[in-house]
Each structure stands twice: as C-alpha cells, then as structure tokens.
Amino acid sequence: MPKPFLLIKIVLIANLLLVSSFSVANSVDNQRADDIFASIDSGIAINDHAQYLLYLDELDSLVADSDTNRQLRKNRARCWSFDIFKEGEVTKALDFVEHALTHPLLSQYPSHKLDLALCQSWYTEQNGNVDLALKGYDKAVSDAYALEDLRLVADARSMRGYLHSYQGNFTYALEDLMTAQSLYENLNLPAWAQLNLYEIANAYRRFGDQKSAIRYFKRLEKDKRKSNHLDAANTISVSIAIAEEELGNFEVAKSRFEKSYQYWRAKGDDMGQATVGVNIAGTLIQLGELDQAKRYLDLAKPFIASNDEGFYGFMHLFYGQIYLAQGQLEQAHENLHLAQTAFIRVKNMSGLAQQLKLESSVFVKQADWQNAYESLNEYVKQHNELDTKLLSTYTTEMRTRFNADQIEQENLHLMENQQLKEIELAMLEQNKLQQWIIILLGGLITIIISVFAYKQSQKNKQLSTLALTDDLTQLPNRRYIYAKAEIYLEQALKHQSPLSAITFDADYFKQINDNFGHEVGDECLKLLANTCRAVLGSQYQAARVGGEEFLILLPNTDKDAAFEIAQNLVHQVRMANLSKFPQGFSITISAGVASLSNDPEELHTLLKRADDALYRAKHEGRNQARMG
C-alpha cells in the first residue's frame, strides 16, 4: 500500500474514533436531558413543583452551551417555573422571558420562540394586564396553527379559554377549552388533559350549570386522591364547594371549605389558607354567620395582594356585605370601591354585577336615592349582558359538540404532520452529532440528504393540503375557507368591490341518515359537493364547514348575481340524477345569500346574515334560496 494513502487512512480512523468517543459522552448527557424534557412535557410541574425545579437545575449541568436547541428548550422550561404566589416572582418571570426572547438564534426555532411568547402572555395576565395578555394569546393561537404545533395549539387555547371563562365570555371559553381537551387527549398528555378538564368544569360552574360542573370536579377529585396528589384534590374540593354554594347547599359547601382550610393549615401554606378563607367567608355570610366570616377574612387579608384581582375583589366584596349588615355604611363603600376596581381591571362581569347590586343597597340605607338608582341601573345592564353571554354559550356548546367529529379529524391530520416533522428533526439532530463523518463522506451523503429533503418536502406539502381539505367531499374545510374569506373581505374593502357569500345545507339530512344509513348520507354529501363544482366552475370557492353545511365565497359578485347562482344551485340539486341512490331517496337544499353592505363590516356579520337568510329559507318551506 502506498505510504500517503496509509497516512490518510490512519488520520481518518483517528478522527472517527475521536468523534465516536465524543458522541458517546455527549449522547449519555443528551439522553438524560431528553428524558427530563419528556417528564416536564408530561406535566411534572402540575403535581410536583419541587421536583420540577430539581430537574431544571440538573439540566443546567447536562446541556452544553453549544447545544442551541436544548438550551432554548431549557429556557422554555425555566420560564414556566416561577411561583406566581410569591411576592416579586411575576416581575422576575417577566424580566427572564424578556431577556430569553432576545436570543440571537431564537428565530431559527419558531416553536421555542412561540412558547416563550405564550409564557410572557401568561405572566402578563398574572400581572393584571389582561387586555395585553389576551392579545398575546390570540397571536399565539394563530401562530401555533401556522406552525402546526399541536401542543402549543392546545396550550394557547387552554390558557385563552381560562381567561375568557373568568371574564364571563363563556362562548369563546368553551370553544377553546373543548378544542384543547381533544388535542391533549390525542397527544396522550393525561396530566394536561385533567388540568384542562378542570377549567371546563369551572366554565360550566361560572355560567350556571353547577350539576355538570360538580360531576366533572368529583371525577377529577377521585383521580387526584387515588394518585395521592392531595394538594390538587383539595383545590378541586374547593371548586366543588363553590358549585354547591351556587346550588344553595350552604352546609355542604361549608363542610368542604372547612376541611380544605384545615388541610392547608396543617401544611403551613398561608396562601392556600387565605384563598379558602375568602371562599368560606362568602358561604358563612349566606348562613348569617357574619362574625365568623369576618374572622376568616381578617386572617386572609395579609396574604391576598391587590394584583391577585380575583380573590382580592371578592374579599372586599364580602367585607362590604358584612359592613352593610352591621350598618357601617362608609366602610362598606370603601371596600366595595376596592372590589369594583379589581373586577374592572380583569373584566370580571359576574363579580362587578354583584358589587353594583350591593352598592345600590348601601345607598338605599343612606337614603341616597339618586346613586342607588344609578348603581341598580348599572347592575341591570351587567346582568342582562351576562344573560346574553349565557344564552350564546348554550348555543356554542351544542354546536361544538355537533362538530366534535370534524374537530377530531382535523386534529388527527395535524398530528400526523407533526409526527413527520418530529421524525425529521430527530434525524437532523443525530446528523449534527456525526458532522465529521458527513464531511468525510462528502458528496454521496449530500446527494442522499438532498433527495430525502425533496421527498420530505413533497410529503409535507401533501399533508398540508390534506389538513385543509375535507376527507369526504374533497372540498376545502372550514379552516381553509375562513382564512380565504378574511383575504377576500380585506380586498373587497380596500378596492370597494362587491363580495357575496352563500351558505346552504341539505334539507332533512338527519332523516336521510336515519332512513337510508350513513353511507347513503355520505354519498349525498358527495353529490352536493359535485353539484357545487359543476355550478361554480373554477371561478368561485366552495367548502364544507360542518356536517351537511357548505359555504361559497363569491368575490367581485354583487347580491343579484349571487342570488341567481344560489337559485341555480338549488335547482341543480333538485334535478340531480339520483339513479345510484336507493328507491324513494330524494334531496333538496336551502340556501342563504348575503353581500357586503355599503357600510364596512366584519366577516362574522356577513356570514351571520347569510345564516339568517338560510334559516328563513328553512322556515318558509325549504328547497329555496333567500337573500339576507
């Protein structure tokens, strides 16, 4: 063998041995770090915060400074570790995340960046700036869908759902929380699914369905006690007590509150005692035990800070009730003002309504009839607005349950795409550890990776298309058409051009499924989709948005032309060839049409007018189109 070639071979073998030993050393630390990350992702922080902090300290010694991906992942985990119940910790958390978001390589890791932004919004909420937090949650939900990162979609919607629920926006709360619940269950994250289910139960409690709330709470409490997570079990027991109080079962509520209070007292948890103390005071007031209620509030007061608006607001609301009953009216006014400030800051409409009603009673005691009337009038306004939100919530809950299968299917498509991305990232991570080998192998590896990347890119494009397509009809789905509608609306408003929409669905579709079976029902939906394609051609966009409901967008089309298209569509369905369907089968549709008005309007108002027209077509006999 020629000596130069022998020398090259020796150098090559030495380099491979060096890389191999380096990789083995790093591999052990990296595997341990990844195991810790998996434990954190599974929800260790929910049930064992002390262990969570120990894990973070261990990660500091495991993750190399040069390992950008794991360093950023560690920053994500550290961001969620601050104890919001300790004074000054929220400020520290906001300082930490603000610094973490300046990492020069963060833009190369969009999921890490988004999770830090979500963390920042959460601490912003804890700091009392709920409007800014809600904007952050809205952006996080949108960005998470764009990244198709299902875990972040679930987290962002769960946090936003909690805030909506607390503010009394139950319509949005249930949509967010139910979607998050489906994702957590599909991602096999039971700890997070339980936490989210707790918020769903709270949402039911807040909008008045106490029995459903108690059913969910008791199931969660049983699971927590069975797994020996007693802190969580006692927190849930307090929620059950609040629901029992709402049902008028004050003695049952008092018993649960007292047991929880003693539990936190035995643990030496002042904050736990204080929060339960505020709750039990409300129950004792209902039972007429005012002195005992005030004793609990006095013990809680040193630990309830003004930036914890929920407990702070209700603590002063209960003080106001006690002082009113005792005739100390000026003191009652002072406490009710503090409660009002807290409720307004976090937009807690329910608490604000109670405060206004109580304040009116204080003014009545003082014979200040003008202020009494004004407070009572404001209370009526708040109460009516709450009633409107509750009615909307019941409608949303039914619609969300009706579309559960579609939501599940869309989530599964996104999960498949994410799994492919995770596989690709794992392969790239392993390739980084073998950089010297890749350099030595040269062009051959480059070609193989290029071919793989091309195929993977094509596959991702296909999966992205599938995620925006309804499987049954091969029409675009609701997610796609709503995004398209926003674009069309923006263009129409900018250029002052017409824009119309048609919504239609099959008449008596439930009877078709009941009489002929779901397979025939599926073929019926395909018939409607094919009829849409035949009538619309390539000029307009149609989509299946749920069940037997379809939406058509008609840019640059005025209301007269849109109505003519809708009538043609109704006619074509009525005259469709049904030879392949069972004997006795028939199908018609009802359609609603709406066009942009002269005044600027938002997408949801345009679609609502089309829906209203559809319902009118149904009411007036079906098998027809109506203009909204």
The CATH number assigned to the domain holding 582 equals 3.30.70.270
Task: Pick the catalytic residue from 416, 548, 549, 602.
Answer: 548
Are residues 549 and 617 located together in one domain of the fold?
yes
Is residue 305 within 8 A of residue 270, CB to CB? The reply is: no
Query: What is the pLDDT of the chain when averaged over all its residues?
Result: 84
386 in a structural domain? yes
Q: What is the mean pLDDT of residues 329-357?
A: 85
Q: Which of 467, 489, 513 is the last residue of a domain?
A: 467
Are residues 417 and 550 located together in one domain of the fold?
no
Q: What is the mean pLDDT of residues 507-512?
A: 92
Are residues 424 and 561 located together in one domain of the fold?
no
23 in a structural domain? yes
Are residues 510 and 619 located together in one domain of the fold?
yes
Are residues 422 and 482 located together in one domain of the fold?
no
553 in a structural domain? yes
Is residue 336 within 8 A of residue 355, CB to CB? The reply is: yes
Q: Which of 424, 448, 467 is the last residue of a domain?
A: 467
What is the count of structural domains for the chain? 4
Are residues 559 and 437 located together in one domain of the fold?
no
Are residues 507 and 385 located together in one domain of the fold?
no
174 in a structural domain? no
356 in a structural domain? yes
227 in a structural domain? no
Q: Strands across the sheet with 549-555, in order?
A: 541-546, 549-555, 499-506, 589-595, 625-627
Are residues 442 and 389 located together in one domain of the fold?
no
Q: Which of 434, 467, 500 is the last residue of a domain?
A: 467
The per-residue pLDDT for range 94-108, each reduced to its tens digit, is 999 999 999 999 999
Name residue 260's amino acid. S
Is residue 310 within 8 A of residue 166, CB to CB? The reply is: yes
Are residues 451 and 500 located together in one domain of the fold?
no
94 in a structural domain? no
77 in a structural domain? no
| Helices 509-516, 518-536: crossing angle, 10 deg rounding | 140
Is residue 614 within 8 A of residue 504, CB to CB? The reply is: yes
pLDDT > 80? residue 55: yes
The per-residue pLDDT for range 590-601, each reduced to its tens digit, is 999 999 987 777
The per-residue pLDDT for range 346-367, each reduced to its tens digit, is 777 778 888 888 888 888 888 8
The per-residue pLDDT for range 146-180, each reduced to its tens digit, is 988 999 999 999 999 988 887 878 778 888 988 89
What is the phi/psi pair of residue 549, to 5°?
-100, 135
Quote the pLDDT of residue 388: 58
pLDDT > 50? residue 7: no
What is the phi/psi pair of residue 127, to 5°?
-85, -5
Whole-angstrom distance, CA of residue 47 vs CA of residue 41: 13
Are residues 330 and 381 located together in one domain of the fold?
yes
Residue 11 is part of which domain span?
3-41
What is the phi/psi pair of residue 599, to 5°?
-85, 140
Q: Which helix (H) or strand (E) holds 626?
A: strand 625-627
Are residues 617 and 488 located together in one domain of the fold?
yes
Residue 548 known to be catalytic: yes
Are residues 313 and 392 located together in one domain of the fold?
yes
